[in-house]
Every structure is written in structure tokens, then in C-alpha cells.
Structure 1
Amino acid sequence: MEFSVKSGSPEKQRSACIVVGVFEPRRFTSVAEQLDNISDGYLSNLLRRGDLEGKAGQMLLLHHVPNVLSERVLLVGCGKERELDERQYRQIIRKTINTLNETGSMEAVCFLTELHVKGRDTYWKVRHAVETTNDTLYSFTTMKSKKDEARRPLRKMVFNVPTRRELTTGEKAIEHGLAISAGIKTAKDVSNMPPNVCNPAYLYEQAKSLETEYQNLSVEAVDEAQMAELGMNSYLSVGRGSANESIMTVMNYKGGVPGQNPIVLVGKGLTFDSGGISIKPGEAMDEMKYDMCGASGVLGTMHAIVQMQLPINVVGVLAGCENMPDANAYRPGDILTTMSGQTVEVLNTDAEGRLVLCDALTFVERFEPEAVIDVATLTGACVVALGKHASGVMSNHNPLAHELINASEQSSDKAWRLPLWDEYQEQIESPFADIANLGGRDAGTITAACFLSRFTKKYHWAHMDIAGTAWVGGKQKGATGRPVAMLSQYLMNKAGVETED
């Protein structure tokens, strides 16, 4: 898709389609009113006949409107003007893109970016129009032998901004939107790949392919032999039952000044999670290929920031592993010695993500990080608590938590903070080891974070549980690419990237 911005009157636009909004009940936006005037009331006559009420998501495609240079005019229902918020705006953009793509309009000039959205400026509206467009048009057909493609797909979108002085803002919004969209696509593509293809080595290969494009990105693999030397016994135990070797991929992006302490992102990369000896129920087990969405989210975020060339140092760690039942697999009752020296009693082998992450979180101490954020599809309890709409955030540092929640609001990639109080720590006590890997039914998301907090005493740390937000299940299953937008926004904020008009 090609995107651009311009500033001009609707009557001067010569395009395959011009897109304008109509509010409820049958109220023109200022741009639609201009088109109505030059068409001698053609549009208002249609509205009086009841062809369009202006309800959110309604579409009316018109051909050869009198005195209008564009071949088509798409009237888009925008709902009640005072109620137009960011969620509805994105839904309107999504419906518009689907309509254009299905009707053979290969290019369009869109005036919806001039709508007033509560608390959002031109930069936000243009950037999110780009991100929403790319998200709407995404499909994963890599493994299909026959690919269904639109005969005349949408190829070019021009977003109009109210004044010429906002063109620079719009261009910057497109640049950022394209980079974040590229990162989201990377995360989706890797997540949607089947587990017989996407294993820990595949995660490393995808990171290496990025390294070839960007000089200030270096990628290394930590294999099982190196993990054994480092004492990463907890990580190694989880992958013991798999024929696929565990590989931890380390991506080091140096966009900031030399010596600047990096932000470290750690992604849980369970490329398939059967549950191990504590095997999962068979229903929907195919979706456990998505247990590596933390790692794919980190990979996608690294893609976004290297494309933007943010002036910041960032380390991305993809903790690749596969949890399978086997004669060599670890068992409930085993006691593991972690890289930190702390011991863990295994109560359930399906609580494996934290056993991989705890060693990865100890490993990253060597980078002397400014902050560490781990991202993981860690607990079903998070889905129960927050549903599919918000990722859970827990942290040992209030300013870091606030920065992440702020980034989630800016990016519309929703997150909600949960407590990490000392009272919860009692649930993971063990009579035989320093910690148990399970804290019982109550507050499962929080006790999982409590477990990880035992390994993050030396730096500011936040944990993101994306179990509910990383993918959509069922017949229309697929990865969402979250939380690439949120993490990218957080890093843009840390790098001091200006996004205001």
C-alpha cells in the first residue's frame, strides 16, 4: 500500500474515489457539504430519500456525481458527531477500507482524517488510519497452495489534512504508521506460521534477516550448550522433551549514544506449548502455536524501531523453546536450579513460561539496563480478568508502569495495571525449594508476575501478560500483532520523538 497526504478542496480531487463523512441524522460534514454544493444538491436529495442515515459504518457508493471530478464518491456514516471517539474512528476507517477494496477502487482520496475525534490531533488520525488500513488488508496466505486475491485491490490512499502547514505532520504520521505496521505484520506472520515451521531456530532466522537490512542491529544466538555453561537449568528443563533445540535470540540495536543504558525487551517464545507432562486438553491445542507471541511481539517491535531508526539503545531477547511430553521431559515434583541460584519446585509443567523467562531475566542483567519489560502469553487467568481487550501490566517501578500505560493510551493498544503486592508472594512458597512455579487458582496472573519478580531485583522491571490480546481464537483465528504498537510508542516516547501537531 502507498500512502500520502495532501491539502486541497474536494471539488479539485481527480481520483478513482473520494471519501467523505456524513453524521447522524443525515448531517453533512463540511467537506461533504462542499461536494453537495458543487453537485447542485445531488447528495442532499439522496439523503432526503433515505439512502443514508449517517449511522456509524453505513456506506453509500456513488458513481458519476454531477460536477465532481472523481469517478466515485463514497459517503461514510460516522454516527453522532459528539460521540465520535478513537474506537469508532478506527471502525469507520476499517469499514471504509473493506468497501473500497471490494468495489475496485484502486486509489482513493480520504477526507475522514479531518473528522473531529475526541482528544486526538491530525498526527494521531493519519497514523492510525495508516495502521488500521494495513491491519484491515492483512491476510496470511503463505501456506496456501492457491491464493485468493482481489481483482482490483486498493493500492493507494491519500489522506487530506485541513491546512498546508499540517502536511509535515501528516507525512511524519505516515512514516511512523508504516514502521509500526511493518512491525505488526512481522509479529503476525511469525505468530501465524505453523509450529512445524516456526521453532526456536526459525525465530533466530527471522531476527537475522532483519540484521542484514540494518547496520546498527546485531543478532546472536545462545544455544543449549551455552545455556548449560551459564547455568540456565530452568530454561533448559522446559525444552528437554522437545526434538527442537532451545535457542535464545539476542537482538542488539544501537541507535542511541554509545554507553547509553539500553531498554531491554524479553519475549516468551514457546513456539508450541503442549503443557508437557501436565498435558493440555486437546480442544484448541492448535492455538498453542501462539504461545510465542511475546517473542514475535518483541521481534515486531524491534522491526518497527530499526525502521524508524529511533535514537535509543534497545536489546530484544526472544526466549525460544518448545514444551513437549517425552521420556526426557521435566516432571511435576522436579526441583530446578535457576541461573540466579534460586531453586524452583515444579508443581505443573504447563506453568513453563515463567521457568524460561526467569533465566532470561537473569541473563539480561549483563546489559545494565535502564529498564526491562518482559512480554508473555503467560496465564489464562489474565483472559479471565481482562478478557480480550486489555493486556495486563505489573511492575516493581511506578514510573515505568505509568509510562507503559500512557503509551497504551496513545497507541490505542489497551493495557491495565494489576497490583504486585507482597501479600501475593506467600502463594508461591514451597516447602522443598525457594519458590513453587504455581500459586494456586486465586490471582493467577499476579502470582505468575510475583514469581518473575524474584529474578528482577537488580533493575526496574515490568511484566506484560498478553494471553488475552495476542491472538483471536476460533474459526477466524489469527495473531493480532499486539503489543507492537504499545511498545513502539513507549520507545518513541523514551527516544523523545515528537508527535504533536
Structure 2
Amino acid sequence: MKFQSTHKRGENWASDVVVLPLCVSDLGKSPLLKRLDRALKGNITKTFHQEKFKGKWGETKLIATHGALRTRYFWFVGCGPEKDFRCDYLRRAGGHVARLARQHQFQKVAWLPLQRKDWGKTIADDCQAITEGILLGSYEFSRYKKSKNPLHLSEVRFMEIPKGVRDLAQKIRLGCVVAESVTLARDLVNTPAKDMTPHQLGLEAKKALKGISVRLYSKKDLKRFKMGAYLAVAQGSTQPPTMVHMQYRPASRSQGTIVLVGKGVTFDSGGISLKPPTSMETMKDDMAGSAAVIGAMKAIAQIKPPVTVHGIVPATENMPSGSAIKPGDVVRAMNGKTIEILNTDAEGRLTLADALVFGQRFKPDVVIDVATLTGACVIALGEKCAGLMTPDKSLSDRLLQSAEKCGEKMWPLPLLEEYKEEIESPIADVKNNGGRWAGTITAGLFLKEFVNPKIPWAHIDIAGPSWTDKENDLGPRGGTGSMVATLVHFVTHYSQSLGSS
């Protein structure tokens, strides 16, 4: 798909549809809207009045030009009151238009700017968000379908852009890079576990990531590293574990080191603590944390930030068998701490424990792990919001700012030390299950046991937003690519945030 920009009028290009986003205050005031209405002899105003279009968020209206102009349709998208406007509205509007384009087999889309206050300063960011939305809304996972629903949309032009807008082409390109990386993460999550084994996940990372080193560690290597917690999860499966280590280094002097760790359980049956059948139906997505990290590393390799980034994925299956770990067993993690396993379905934290210890070998300035870790997080925050846990207020603020900028929902949860007693074990240093209450927080406290307290660390639980059961503006049912964009924004702005802190 080709994205271009021009200062020319939108209705003068032979497109299938011209898109104009509108705030509530634009109705009756927008010079663009008045001009288009005159071109259609008042039909826009008449249609808005008849169908009570007010420009509220979520409202849309498609109006045919009936040959009066070179474009076939106008598509008006409500963005609500200007004071409540968020850039994510344009991202979602882009997705909505992409899905409309598939439905109507549109090939060319012209997009007019939302002329809100100071829009000349924000137009590059607006175009990035729209680009991301169009590409994400175009996404379909049809690898296993005989009949396809092809996308005909081939060109998008941002029209009536003032001359001299700074960084416009760069921002549009960045939108493409981010969306392509989210798409990679979605593909990894949506691929069935039969085909996306731990080793295959590593091979997919190698194939997708250009310009960075990717090393795959075998079961033999994990034994050499003494990763007893990670190996304990893997021992019930006939598929051997594979740890993926991705490394990006800037060409110039590095301004810091970031370690990203993603949970990579390619199928989670619960192990001996077996899940109910309906709870296993989407458990191919239990590697969504690893998909987020691999997707982020793809974008980072193209953007080339001035920081060193390590991506670590402890990939494995969690299966029941005669060789599977059992409730009551005790294992030793890479840092020497012993773990009493009370629930084999609390396996993700075991793999992350060893991966977090491994990541600290690289003397990072910050460590972030991403995981579909607890159902308790979905109960607390729902299916659209990730949970953030960190003892570092500055790191929390930066991650929340990145998530907001990228249109991803994230909410901080406290790592209350009072709950630490819930993971104390009478026979080991720690146990892997804190009981029924505050399950997301006790899982975070468990991971904290494996991170040097001097290193800023954050845990992001994406058990809710990693998967959607319903089609929405930004994609179909399935994996969402949650946190790819947030991680990319955080990493690429990391050195800037250091300078301002």
C-alpha cells in the first residue's frame, strides 16, 4: 500500500472516497466542510440534518457524489468535542475506513486534515496515527482459509497538507513500520500451536528480524545456564524449549541498554493443573508477550534508536505428561533461588524468572517484561487494559505516557509488600502461587524476586488486551499485537527521556 501527501484539494483527485474527520464544533464552521457542501449543492448539510449527524465520536456518514466530483464518495468521521479529542480517534478512524474499503473494494482513499486548534503542529503525528490505523484495519489472517477476501486498497493520499510540514514523510514511514511490526506479532499469535512450536517461534524471529543478531538456545544450553524453573515447565512436552535472544546495537556509541523479556508459552494446557477445555481454546496466544517483544525488535531494527536493546523469549509448551512437573515439586532458578510449585498453571512466571536473570547479564539500565500472566488481571481491568507493575515511579510514568501516545490502555497496579507473605513457602525460598486474592500483584511480587532491586524494572500483564473475541476498527478476532507500539515508542524515546529527567 502506498502513502503519499500533497497540498492539492482532495475532491480534485480521482479517488474512491474522500475522508474528512470532524469535531462537533466543525459542523457549520469548517471551511473544508463548507466548500465540499457547496460542491454538492448543499446535499451534505441536508443529509447531516436529516440523519442527525452531529460529529460525535463513533458517528460516520457515507455520502455519494453521483458524478458531481472526481471522487465517488465522501466519508465523514465524527471525532467528538475538540476538547476531548485524542490522536487515537484518528488511528481508529483509519482502521474503520480500511475495513470500509475492503467491503466496498475501494482502491484509492484521499484523507483531508482535521483542522483543530494548532493542527499545523500536530498534522505529522495525525498522519502517523491514520497510517497505523489503515494498515491495522486492513489486517486479515487468512493463511488457513481456502477462500480469501482480498484488499483492493492500494493508495492513500493525505490531501491539502500545508507546505513545509516538518517530519511528515518520516512520521508516515514510522506509522508503516509500527503497523508492520504489530502485524508480525498478530501473525505469530494467530498461528496454531501445532505450527508455532517453541523452536519455530525462534525460526520466525530469525526470518523476520533483519539487521540484528538472533541466537537460539537449546535445551542443552538452558541446562548449562542452570535454568531450573524454565526447564521445569518444558519437561512435560515432547517439543523441546528454545530460548530466543535478539540483540540490537546502534552504529554509534550506545546511550543505554534496555532488556525486553516476553513470555513465550506457545501452548498452555495448564500442565498437571489442567485447564478446563473452554479455557484452552485460545491458549495458542499465551506467547503474546514474546510476539510483542519480537514485533518491537523488528521495528527497533528499522528505526535504529541510539540505545542497545536485548529481546529475550523463553519459549516452551506447558503440557501434562508422565514427565511433567507436579504440584509440590521444588525447582531451582538460575539465580539459585528455590521455588515450590503449587500450581503448574502458574507456569509463565517460572519461565520469566530465569529469563529475567539471564537478561541482567547484559547490565541493563532498564528491564521490562511483557506477559499474558494472570486471569486475575482480566478480572481487575477487563479485556482492553494491560496491568503495569513497577517499583520505579519514573519508569511507570514513561511507560504510561508511551501507552497513551500509542492508543494502548494501561493501568498501574501496586506491588504491595504486605502481600509478599502470600508467596512465602515453608520449604523453599518462594512459591509460585499466591492464592486467590490479588493474583496479579502476587505474580508481580514473585517476578520481583528475580530482579536486582537496583535495576529499574517493570512488568506488564497483557492477559486481557492480547486477544479479542470481537472484530473492531483495528482488526478482526484474534491476536491484537498488544504492546508492540508502546514498547517501540518507549525504546525510541528512551534517550530523550533521560535527557529531560
Do they fold alike, i.e. is TM over 0.5? yes
The corresponding residue for 1:202 is 200
Q: Which amino acid aligns with 1:241?
A: G
Give 1:28 shift: 6.0
d(CA) in 2 for partners of 1:275 and 1:118? Answer: 51
Match of 1:430?
425
Determine which of 175, 190, 193 is the counterpart of 1:192: 190
CA distance, structure 2, for counterparts of residue 108 and residue 158 of structure 1: 6
1:5 match: 5
8 Å contact from structure 1 (residues 270, 353) kept in 2? yes
Partner of 1:238: 233
Q: Which residue of 1 aligns with 2:293?
A: 298
Instruction: Give the letter for the 1:468 counterpart.
Output: G
- Matched with 2:448 is 453
Deviations 1:3-38 (A, max 9, x none): 122223345434333222455595463212112234
Change in Cα spacing, 1:23 to 1:317, as seen in structure 2 (3 Å) is: closer
2:22 & 2:308 partners in 1: Cα distance?
Answer: 46
Out of 169, 172, 180, the position equivalent to 1:171 is 169
Deviation at 1:229, TM superposition (A): 1.2
Query: Cα gap change, 1:14/1:114 in structure 2, threshold over 3 Å: closer, same or farther?
Result: farther
Helix, strand or coil: the match of 2:436? coil
- 1:464 and 2:465 correspond: no
Partners of 2:455 and 2:84 in 1: CA distance = 43
Partner residue of 1:103? 104
Q: CA–CA distance in 1 between the matches of 2:120 and 2:272?
A: 51
Moved more, 457-466 or 81-90: 81-90
- Asked whether the equivalents of residues 114 and 162 of structure 1 are also in contact (C-alpha less than 8 Å), the reply is no
Aligned to 1:157: 156
Change (3 A) 1:127 1:43: same
Q: Distance in 1 between matches of 2:203 and 2:176?
A: 23
**Helix, strand or coil at the partner of 1:450:** helix
Partner in structure 1 of residue 65 of structure 2: 63
What is the correspondence of 1:82-161 to structure 2 with a 5 Å cutoff? 82-115=83-116, 121-150=122-151, 153-160=152-159
Q: Secondary structure at the match of 2:164?
A: helix
Shift of residue 309 of structure 1?
A: 2.2
Q: Give the Cα–Cα distance (whole angstroms) in 1 for the partners of residues 118 and 102 of structure 2.
A: 25
Which structure 2 residues correspond to residues 169-318 of structure 1 after superposition, within 5 A? Answer: 169-211=167-209, 213-214=210-211, 217-255=212-250, 257-258=252-253, 260-318=255-313
Greater shift, 183-192 or 77-86, is seen at 77-86
* CA displacement at 1:274 relative to structure 2: 0.3
Identity within the alignment, %? 35
In 2, the alpha carbon distance for the partners of 1:18 and 1:51 equals 21
Question: Is the Cα contact below 8 Å between 2:306 and 2:495 reproduced in 1?
Answer: yes
* Deviates most, 268-277 or 126-135: 126-135
Q: Which amino acid aligns with 1:130?
A: T
The alignment yields a C-alpha RMSD, in angstroms, of: 2.5
CA distance in 2, matches of 1:335, 1:21: 59
For the structure 1 residues 262 and 161, does the alpha-carbon distance in structure 2 shift closer, same or farther, using more than 3 Å as the test? farther
Q: For residues 342-380 of structure 1, what are the alpha-carbon distances to aligned partners after superposition, in whole Å with 9 as ceiling and x for unaligned?
A: 100001000001111111111112111111101100001
CA pair 171-323 structure 1, distance change in 2 beyond 3 A: same
Is residue 264–residue 288 contact of structure 2 (8 Å, CA) maintained in 1? yes
Deviating more after overlay: 427-436 vs 110-119: 110-119
Unpaired runs of 5+ in structure 2? Answer: none
Cα distance change, pair 117–375 in 1 and its aligned pair in 2 (3 A): farther
Aligned to 1:44: 45
Q: Give me the whole-angstrom Cα distance separating, in 2, the residues matched to 1:42 and 1:259.
A: 58
* Equivalent position SS for 1:241: coil
Partner of 2:19: 19
Equivalent-residue separation in structure 1 for 2:291 and 2:261 (angstroms): 10
Judged with a 3 Å threshold, the aligned counterparts in structure 2 of structure 1 residues 165 and 434 are, in CA distance, closer, same or farther, namely same
1:367 maps onto 2:362 in alignment: yes
Cα distance in 2 between the residues matched to 1:128 and 1:281: 40
Q: Deviations over 1:231-258 (max 9, x none)?
A: 1111001010101001100001112535
Q: Distance in 2 between matches of 1:359 and 1:50?
A: 59
Q: 1:62 to 1:194 in 2, by over 3 A?
A: same
Determine the C-alpha separation between the residues in 2 that align with 1:455 and 1:398: 19
Contact 2:376–2:438 under 8 Å retained in 1: yes
CA distance in 1, matches of 2:256, 2:147: 48
Structure 2 equivalent of residue 493 of structure 1: 493
Q: Is the 8 A contact 1:256 1:313 kept in 2?
A: no
Relative distance call for 1:393 and 1:46 in structure 2 (3 A) is: closer
C-alpha contact (below 8 Å) 2:90/2:129 kept by paired residues: no
Determine the C-alpha separation between the residues in 1 that align with 2:52 and 2:484: 40
Q: 1:65 to 1:24 in 2, by over 3 A?
A: farther
Q: Which stretch shows the higher mean deviation, 98-107 or 290-299?
A: 98-107
Scaled by the length of structure 2, the TM-score of the pair is 0.91
Equivalent-residue separation in structure 2 for 1:90 and 1:117 (angstroms) = 19
Unaligned residue ranges in structure 1 (runs of 5+): none
Corresponding residue to 1:395 among 383, 390, 397: 390
CA contact (8 A) 1:21 1:29 kept: no
Q: Relative to structure 2, which stretch is displaced further, 134-143 or 487-496?
A: 487-496
Distance 1:119 1:422 in 2: 48
Checking the alignment, whether the CA contact within 8 Å between 1:76 and 1:96 is kept in structure 2 is: no
* Cα gap change, 1:50 to 1:405, in 2 (>3 Å): closer
Alignment-mate amino acid for residue 142 of structure 1 = R
* Equivalent-residue separation in structure 1 for 2:467 and 2:370 (angstroms): 14
Pairing 1:343–2:338 present = yes
TM-score (norm 1): 0.91
> Measured at CA, do residues 316 and 22 of structure 1 come closer, stay the same or move farther in structure 2, by a change above 3 Å?
closer
In structure 2, do the counterparts of structure 1 residues 133 and 450 end up closer, same or farther at CA, with 3 Å as the change threshold? same
Quick one: which amino acid aligns to residue 443 of structure 1? A
